[in-house]
Amino acid sequence: MLLVRVRKLLEKSRSTENVHEADAFAAKAADLIARHRLDPDRLAARSSDELGVREIGLGRGAYVRARLALLSAVVSAHDAQVVFGATPTGTIAYVAGFEGDLDVIELMYSSLHAQASSRMAAERRGTAAATQRYRRSFLFGYADRISVMLAESRRVAETAASEATGSSSTPALVERQRRVEQFAAESFGRVRRARAPGGALESGWRAGAAAAERVDVGRTRLAGRRALGPG
C-alpha cells in the first residue's frame, strides 16, 4: 500500500543522522507519491475511487488560521476542497476529495506542520504577546511559501509524466477535480465566507518563508536531490 510505504520512508528519513541517507529516503517517498497521482494508467484505474470528507483538527487560539493556510496549500496541490468551522473542542477543517488523496494530504500536512512547529518553538521575543504574534506571522509565511513550492513540484511532475508516456494526464485530473467540486458542493451545502485573518509581521513572515525553503516537500534541490519532509 502506497501510504504504508511512504510512511516507512519518512520514518527512516527522520531517524537517520546522515543527511544524504535522509534525502534518499525522502526522495523515494516523493517519487512514490508523484507516480501514484500522475501516472495515466493509474488515473484510469482510479476512475471509481471513493470520494469522502476527512476531518482535521486545527486546535484553538491564535494559530488556527495560519494552520488552515498551511492545510489549504496541501489541499490545493491535491485537487481537494476544504472548509472549516468552530466546534466545542476547537476548529475543525473538513476536507473533501478522493480517499487516496485525503490519506496523502493528512500525512503531508502533519509532516509539514510538525516541522513548522519545531522551528516556531525556537522563536522568542520580548513578551509572550510579541512571541505569539511573531510565531503566527512565521506560520503564515511558511504556508505561503509551501503553497508556491507544492504548485511548482506538481507542475514539474506533470511535465515529467507527460514526457515519459507521450500523453497528458491533464484531462483525467480535470475530470477528477470536477467530481471533487461537485461532491464538495453537495456535502458542504451553503458555505459562508470567513472574514480575512489579521495582519502579519513582515519579519515573521519572511522568517517562515525562509524556513519553508529548507523544508522537504518533494521539490528538486540545488544538488539535484529531491526530498519530502520527515513529519
18-27, 88-97, 202-211: range with highest mean pLDDT: 88-97
> Buried b vs exposed e over 31-42: b needs ≥16 C-beta within 10 Å?
ebbbebbbbbee
Quickly state the pLDDT bin for 16 (edges 50, 70, 90).
low
Confirm whether 14 is domain-assigned.
no
- Is residue 52's pLDDT more than 70? yes
Residue 162's Cβ-side half-sphere holds a number of Cα atoms within 13 Å equal to 12
Confirm whether 5 is domain-assigned.
no
Q: What percent of the chain has pLDDT over 90?
A: 21
Indicate the number of domains in the chain. Answer: 1
Confirm whether 204 is domain-assigned.
yes
Q: Grid cell 543527511 — which residue?
A: 19
| E runs forming strands in the chain | 51-59, 81-87, 90-98, 217-220, 226-228
Confirm whether 159 is domain-assigned.
yes
Confirm whether 19 is domain-assigned.
no
Confirm whether 33 is domain-assigned.
no
- Is residue 18's pLDDT more than 70? no
Per the model's pLDDT, the better-predicted residue between 110 and 3 turns out to be 110
Q: Kindly state the cell numbers that stand for 138.
A: 512565521
Confirm whether 180 is domain-assigned.
yes
Tell me the pLDDT of the chain averaged across its residues: 75
- Is residue 229's pLDDT more than 70? no
Taken as a whole, the chain contains a residue count of: 231
Instruction: Name every residue whose Cβ is closer than 8 Å to that of residue 217 and which is 6 or more positions away in sequence.
Output: 30, 108, 112, 146, 149, 150, 153, 227, 228, 229
Domain with 174, as residue range(s), is 49-226
Q: What angle do CA 151, 157, 163 make, to 5 degrees?
A: 140
Handedness of CA 117, 198, 91, 85 (dihedral sign): negative
Quickly state the pLDDT bin for 224 (edges 50, 70, 90).
very low
Query: Lowest-confidence range among 30-39, 89-98, 108-117?
Result: 30-39
